[in-house]
Amino acid sequence: MSKRIALGPVIALLCAVAVLSAVVTGVALRKTYNAMLAGLPDQAARYAVLDELEGILREHYYGSSDEAVLRAAVARGYVSGLNDGYSRYLTAEELRAHEREANGEMQGVGLRCSRTAQSRIRVDEVIDGSPAQQQGIVPGDVISAVDSIPVNASNYDESAEKLQSGKSSVELTVRGSAGERTLQLPLGFEAASVVSDNYGDVGYLRLTAFYAGTAAQVRAAVDAFVQSGVRSLVIDLRRNGSENVKYAMQTLDVFVPLSDEPAARLIDQSGETVEAFVTDAAAVNLPLAVLVGENTQAAAELFACDLRNYGKATLVGTPTAGLGLVRQAFRLSTGDAVLLCVGEMLPYRGESFNGTGLEPDVAAAAGAQTASIQKDSQFLSAVAVLRGENQQTEGESGS
């Protein structure tokens, strides 16, 4: 038996719902509008200062100016005002150099240098796999001439610049323990990120960066170690400041097993996970000691922290840099870019190391610089840890 439905109450209910929806929508729009209005004074003040400054310069500045250079300077200053020590404004050329270096495509001959009291070029560091290393240049050598022109106070900057960019090659006159030599070196090279050697039953693996091929090179080196009878491994991260978390986690996968939690997470400003990295079931089962220090930064810190948190390694050395932020390049319409801090990297089952760094399990101060790793005091401390000769932990180091 059918029932009649009174339409009056239903229509009244529908009208009430419509009115309520309109009220809620109106409130939301008003909040958004008010927020926009609240921000207008700040925006107006920001641009008013620039307009005022531009007017003063145009009216009173004695000289000429380049509009493109001025715009770039304003943008660079705007980004530097973030004062986070990490975000940067990049010109188009600086962006290309940043991308090349991130992929291991290096400029120059592979030297990091400083100025002597006589305004010569002193070699402080030689990059692995570089043309300079292949020609036998070592730290302490002095470059007295570039392209047959003696280096002096008036041309030092120009001479040093030729080691980084310019023609396809550069001629150097180098003085060192082997006497004076004249060398022709090509500019540009593929950076090596993995250096391996073994000392008896201890393998040594220096990772200077994390590139696309680093994980495969590490796996090949570890396989060779195992076949040669190596029973433990020292991983040297003391000069690794790589930012590439993806490639660092691919390398980590060589050493750690499958887990029910991500090996690392990247979070944004709201704390939401924007990317997670997992490992597979295969893992190398060798005792590990990891050398760390103040130049161990970013993805290298994450790598070291994860190895320790997985229970796979002991950290030896000095505290790390504490750079756990993630940067991303945003291209501008001009071709320039802003390299902006967009998030933070978090390790496996651990707290953030950003701003604090990692404390080593075994404190070992850096000794005098030496070309032989077998004379490196921190390496020897790591070997002692692996052989059970040094059980001092970070907490005991002050006693």
Contact 133, 126 (CB under 8 A): yes
Cβ atoms of 183 and 110 closer than 8 Å = no
| Residue found under tokens 């050493």 | 255
Cα(first)–Cα(last) distance of the chain, in Å?
Answer: 93
Q: HSE on the CB side for 117, CA within 13 Å?
A: 0
User: What is the C-alpha to C-alpha distance for residues 6 and 43, in angstroms, rounded to an integer?
Assistant: 57
**What would the DSSP string read from start to end of 39-99?**
HHHHHHHHHHHHHHHHHHHHHH--S---HHHHHHHHHHHHHHTT--SS-EEE-HHHHHHHH
Tokens of 126: 């030689």
> 0.85 cut: is pTM over it?
no
Q: Domain extents for the chain?
A: 107-190, 194-396
Q: Which fold has domain 107-190?
A: Pdz3 Domain (2.30.42)
Walk along the chain (399 residues) and give the pLDDT tens digit of each residue: 444 545 555 455 555 555 555 555 555 556 555 654 555 566 666 678 888 888 898 889 998 888 888 888 888 888 988 998 889 999 888 898 888 888 888 889 999 899 999 999 999 989 888 999 999 999 999 999 999 999 999 999 999 999 987 678 999 999 998 899 999 999 988 878 999 999 999 999 999 999 989 999 999 999 999 999 999 999 999 999 999 999 999 999 999 998 889 999 999 999 999 999 999 878 889 999 999 999 999 999 999 999 999 999 999 999 999 999 999 999 999 899 999 999 999 999 888 999 999 999 999 998 877 768 888 999 999 999 999 876 554 444 333
What the block records as the tokens of 319 is: 């505290």
* Distance from C-alpha of 269 to C-alpha of 217, rounded to nearest angstrom: 35
Q: What is 194-396's CATH number?
A: 3.90.226.10
Q: Which pLDDT score, from 0 to 100, does residue 191 have?
A: 79
The total number of residues shown for the chain amounts to 399
Residues ≥6 apart with Cβ < 8 Å to 344: 266, 267, 324, 325, 326, 352, 354
Give me the amino acid identity at 357: G
Task: Output the pLDDT for position 270.
Answer: 94
Could you tell me if 175 and 145 are in contact, meaning their C-beta atoms sit under 8 angstroms apart? no
| CB 314 within 8 Å of CB 361 | yes
Angle at 167 between CA 173 and CA 98, to 5 degrees: 105
